[in-house]
Structures are given as C-alpha cells and as structure tokens.
Amino acid sequence: MIFLADEQATLDLAAKLAVLLPVSAFSIHLKGDLGAGKTTFVRGLLQALGHSGKVKSPTYTLVEHYQLNERDVYHFDLYRLADPEELLYLGIEDYFSTNALSLIEWPEQGKGVLPEPDLLISLNYQTSGRQVTFTPYSAMAEQICEKLHN
C-alpha cells in the first residue's frame, strides 16, 4: 500500500512504474471510484512513456490508441460499456496478442470477457490524498511490484 498525498504524487508513481514495464505484452487494470485518480495515473504513465499532448478520457469511444516509442498502448475506459460482450466487437484479442501495453479503467465492466491482467492497481480515497494498492498476477508483475515499493 502506498499513500499518494496529491496529484503530483500519483503522476510520479506512474512514471516510476513506466520505466519498469516490459516491452512485451502487458496489461494493467485500474480500479477505483469515480475521481479516484485512474485517468491521472494513466496520464502519468503515458507521459513518462513519451506522450506529450493531452490525454482524452475514452469514455465514449471506449478505447484510445497511442504509439509511443514504436509501441502500441491502448487506454480503455469501460465505464459506459453496457455489456461485456460488446468488447468482442472491438476485436479485443488483437489488443492482447501483440506486444501492446493495455491500460484498462473500469475492468469490472468487462467481467467474463476481459482476460486477467498482469497487474491490478486499486486507487482509494483518503480524507486527503489517495491510497494505492498493487496486486500482481504474473511473475513479471511481482518483480515490478517489489521495485515499486522500494
């Protein structure tokens, strides 16, 4: 568990994670209430990976594609997904079969269709600031988590 005092702390931790990520396929689920900081965390990751413009919340488009240092990065926001089956029409297999990095907000909405992530990031409100918990689902993610806590 890591305490994030303010927005900058969220961005800094995301940047720390960015340099630890493998270049092979890797998926991250981000859970937390509205306003918990999921998109902020994604913005920190994308910027640390070389993205310089704005980061749009793909609330209506469901997914936003980035190409950063020749790597495909997909940012999903499944908040408005009506049915997990809708993901099948997006051709999600393609997103996970290449060496893509996928960052998925509201993964609960894709339950039963979305594959298990490598890493789950849970963000929670505190009286002031946020608290973040990392749950690794792969050996690679376990190593990353150890480094994140140092």
Residues of this chain that bind Mg ion (CB under 5 A): 38-39, 105
HEC per residue, 57-82: CCCCCCEEEEEECCEEEEEEECCCCC
- Taking a C-beta distance cutoff of 8 angstroms, is the pair 78, 62 a contact? yes
As a whole number of angstroms, the distance between CA 148 and CA 117 comes to 17
Q: Which residue among 14, 21, 28, 36 contacts ligand ADP (CB under 6 A)? A: 36
Q: In Å, what is the CA distance from 76 to each residue of 87, 114, 128, 136?
A: 11, 11, 27, 19
Q: Shortest distance, CB of residue 145 to Mg ion, whole angstroms?
A: 22
40 binds, among Mg ion, ligand ADP, none (CB under 5 to 8 A by kind): ligand ADP
Assess 13 for contact with ligand ADP (CB under 6 A).
no
Q: Which residue among 14, 28, 31, 40 contacts ligand ADP (CB under 6 A)? A: 40
Q: Which residue among 39, 75, 95, 134 contacts ligand ADP (CB under 6 A)? A: 39
Report which DSSP code applies to 23: S
Which range of residues in 6-14, 92-100, 110-118, 141-149 is near ligand ADP by CB under 6 A?
6-14
Assess 9 for contact with ligand ADP (CB under 6 A).
yes
Q: Shortest distance, CB of residue 31 to ligand ADP, whole angstroms?
A: 9
